[in-house]
Structure 1
């Protein structure tokens, strides 16, 4: 499982990378610390919504995912953890890019 922790909220890091450059750098980091194929864990937070949950699940449906959910104390937000057996860093990044298209989802 990967130990990379990158905040995707503002796809600019301290180096001022744009979105495309960010993913290039992220791919390099993934390849440096992970021997693929390997289990990979995604973590997302979103305003509680069955529709949003369904969209996230749909993205991962063909990757044999394992899901874990946790509602915030006031149930305003839900966190979802998705574990897949990733074949390579490109697959990991493609899933992040797909999920980034869902409004309100914060990627951790």
Structure 2
């Protein structure tokens, strides 16, 4: 089940390393918030983020309820060249999934 929204990813060479910036479109509900009727909003948050460079997994991030809505992450990987393919996939606690990919510029 994909979550509606547009995840954004950018990758750029910076001083010989690869700088990756990610903005994920996700509501990140903790399970403690209430709607306008005073009912609890069920928990829905990203649990796992994985990143690949040229089909090799280079990063795994575990998130929880303390992560903000529409989270932004920035990572720096050693090395890289223009044209490297960067792929991102995430999964939330309800089975929702998202993906994005780009090439290093």
Q: Normalising by structure 1, what TM-score?
A: 0.32
Higher-helix-fraction structure: 1
TM-score when scaled to structure 2? Answer: 0.33
Structure showing greater Rg: 2
